[in-house]
Structure 1
């Protein structure tokens, strides 16, 4: 037997049916309260003269008295009154909750919008609910469903830089995410820029240990016990990590090309696309030469011509 929550499906549908009747009752009460408040204090045109009674009573005072007498807050009464004014009785749709009417009141053409309910993919019926109404007027939904809504929700959660960094690192470990991200020109530029800055920082890190290493080499005479300086150990680890990263970058390119190139069979490219591919391949060849030189000689200096080429100048 199907179960929804903690109840059987049959019981769930019974609860839905009875709750719909309660929603109708609640909506009817909200409309009645709004109509009453609107009768007590009709909404006048903007800039119209508001007559103050003999006792100096204002609109706010009348609504406040009414709210107190019916046991509600003045803000709630004002909301009921505003919605009632936005939806004359002849435009209110039976079977659609007061809450949906309140949200759709902010639409440019509310009477037209409410007449065309969206498709609920779960139920297969065309109907209104709170999130559907918010989506129709461009508001943030309570439960994100579309890609755009989910992206907006995630973006709000990663406003903090520390959180954003952790999330970005984790996401970039997902292969498909990396490929999609690198198709974005701005993202690709920022990654390349960060790589250059990180390379410079690594060079500075290496230079800090040069004097320590030189002193260790000069002081290591015969008969002396070998001393593994912590700086030497750290440098060794650092070099190993750099080597592993280099191999990973090369293998990643090979794997990506192996995956993508076979898909190009039979495709025709424009002259502009040929030029773009040629430009990228030129950068790849220059970068490969740079890597080979760095591995063979230990010289990692980037000459001006290559730097300009990699920057796309």
Structure 2
């Protein structure tokens, strides 16, 4: 074996590559087959070759870089085996076997077969339909799978909508400050878009735009909006919940305060009078 590009000296320079091409043509094999056979032979001096071991095994074990380790390996078949096999040699050098036995070997074989994206998609879909398979997937891996499957915004919106209809899921989700903030932000954004749509399409929009929006007006509208939005989030959660007598009493008292406050707002808007009589003041103060 010489370095790549070495030459055989004759009347004319003759490279190793040209020599191997001629040999391949003469014996009817491909150039690649001849090259691989030559390399394998170079890794096994005659005195190190084993007559009871196939050339394929010699070729696979030739991948062991260290000579001492290589020469010792061919003399030591796998534990419990009388001789070397091709798959045994592949396991020895860490290559994929043709007949997988262990779970890890089967996983590697599946990964190899699923390199094509379409094949991988079909296999993944079929596996996710098997409850026993999904049950064995770790929680963090399930989360990553869901995140990957919901990268599309339309899919994510549909899935999230369905999940938030489940009370326990919605409660846990809203316990996360970031998630709750995003939901509130989305509600505000939705209201903004609805307002823009109203102003663009409703016949009354021009008249409304002419109204002088004072700071007090905007604050009042915002307060009403926040109350309605909060009630819209909280009240549906009362479904199938049975409050105790004390809890109902507290809620009814607060509802009475809300009603009194709404009457006060209407009076102030219609008449401009914001005076609070003694009874209303005590009610608002919770007395």
Q: TM-score, normalised by structure 1?
A: 0.44
Q: Which has the larger radius of gyration?
A: 2
Q: TM-score, normalised by structure 2?
A: 0.48
